[in-house]
Chains A and B, each alone.
Chain A
């Protein structure tokens, strides 16, 4: 009995010593592994700054096709812009004609833009025949705050329309159809007195959106309105509008 007890004690002691030794080896090995993997590597990621701009409703052109009447016909079309930048200084988004001398629709005759806007200047309704202009939304300079397109204060992210506006219910005779890039016209005056500003010249583009820091995808809607009668000869009337986005 005594022998067996002594034996078992020795076994226990041996196991204890072995386990201590093994754990010591294991720990030292582990620490050796840690020491090996602790060589530092500096990982540097360089994210390039990008600017993105899309005109998604009109694409490369906003059509203003319509048949006027003697007393005049109102016609509107809209373009949806989306843009973003990861530039930490933000961006400016501008609108202008591509001409530094005139912003008129030019064809067999000319249809002048309603006014020249600079630095958030005045805007006017399409009250006189054979004029055209634009109305940007959201409107950073409140061009339409007094006599303008009175919509909500935010843009519906899914439709890009001003909040509260859905297809077919847009007031003021503005574009309401789902057809991309085509116009919506009527002979009655534009209810709600939507206001249109003259397209600024190329040399003095107008800011329609801005930020002092980076932005995720942001939306703007630009409405174009024309009021024409049969005094103007038939034919194609065109001009080129430039949306410019630049980091700040």
Chain B
């Protein structure tokens, strides 16, 4: 009996096993959380110098994390500044300037780690801007079927190698489409014509037609050498309908450019549909009114014409009578 039972179990397992493509695995762990500061490093160095910096990593979560730290190159493309963390062929790889005493750390729940790293600027480095990203990435071991999750947080290093370098830029444009759907968006374009990055500070204010401030936008961005950057202030959760005025200023290098006020009519798709329906209804009403009043008008005209005829006819009659009277008097 026992032997039969075992045989049945073996047969069942043998039969079912090919269908278990993905075996059972341990349950996923708790929330994986990381925080870093600062989000960018802006610093100047002389050629051939070495500097030690730190990045702070915080684990606000309830479980510990294994983390790794490393540097990658950093570059951008297009006016919307698409970020690129890959080496560019024949271009200097600034991530090679970075070194870490340890590349793997463990951070307990609630712990804060100060991770030091070294930047060694080669004596052959060109004067001007050089860029890299320092990444802190979770590196927890997971024995699962499916997707292992890594959270990666980057801090961009904007480095200036001291020396003679052109530092210049231009304001290019300030555009705000008059008719928009929410969210209200504007666009400022700034060009860096020099060899080193500079910071731009954009302030924009959105007011309603009565002058009441509805939203203030403030942002600071680095503009990399020989690039044009489009900065787009956005009013999140813009009301679906309204007439607003947006104005502001942008500062970079020694320039402050005033962004003149521009009116924006915000209409959501739903409001546009309502307005379209209203316009159609008004158009139909006008057509009907014209037709209706046109009929009345012709009736009135005919009535007026009749009256004139009567009026014209009457004096003739009177005159005739008068003449008749005069003639009779004579």
Contacts and interface: CB of A to CB of B under 8 A. Distances in A.
Contact of B153 (A56, A58, A79, A245): A245
B19 A77 contact: no
B39 interface: yes
Main secondary structure on chain B at its contact with chain A? strand
Given A60-B29, A62-B149, A89 B20 contact: no
A162 to B, nearest CB: 17
A237 B148 CA distance: 11
Contacts of B36: 50-51
Contact of B147 (A53, A61, A182): A61
Interface string B7-25: 0000000000111111111
Nearest to B23: A236
Interface in B118-172: 133, 135, 137-138, 140, 142, 144-156
Interface in A205-238: 212-213, 224, 228, 230, 232-238
Contacts of B24: 65
Interface centre among A63, A107, A239 (most CB of B within 10 A): A63
A248 B78 CA distance: 14
B23 A52 contact: no
Chain A, interface size category, equals: 35 or more
B39 A240 contact: no
Contacts of A98: 150
B39 A50 contact: yes
A242 B150 CA distance: 5
B150 A243 contact: yes
Contacts of B81: 248
Nearest to A70: B19
B20 A240 contact: no
A118 to B, nearest CB: 10
Contacts of A48: 37-38, 56
Contact of A212 (B28, B83, B233): B233
A241 B22 contact: no
Of B17, B152, B156, which is in contact with the most chain A CB atoms at under 10 Å from its CB? B152
Nearest to B24: A65
Contacts of B17: 234
Interface string A191-211: 000000000000100000000
Contacts of A110: none
B145 A236 contact: yes
Contacts of A53: 33-35, 151-153
Nearest to A246: B154
Contacts of A123: none
A88 B221 CA distance: 8
B227 to A, nearest CB: 13
Given A89-B222, A98-B150, A242-B151, 19 more contacts: A49-B38, A50-B37, A54-B61, A59-B32, A60-B142, A62-B146, A64-B147, A65-B146, A66-B21, A66-B22, A88-B219, A107-B145, A181-B27, A203-B86, A234-B20, A234-B23, A235-B21, A238-B145, A247-B156
Interface of A: 48-69, 77, 79, 85, 87-90, 92, 98, 105, 107, 179-183, 203, 212-213, 224, 228, 230, 232-248
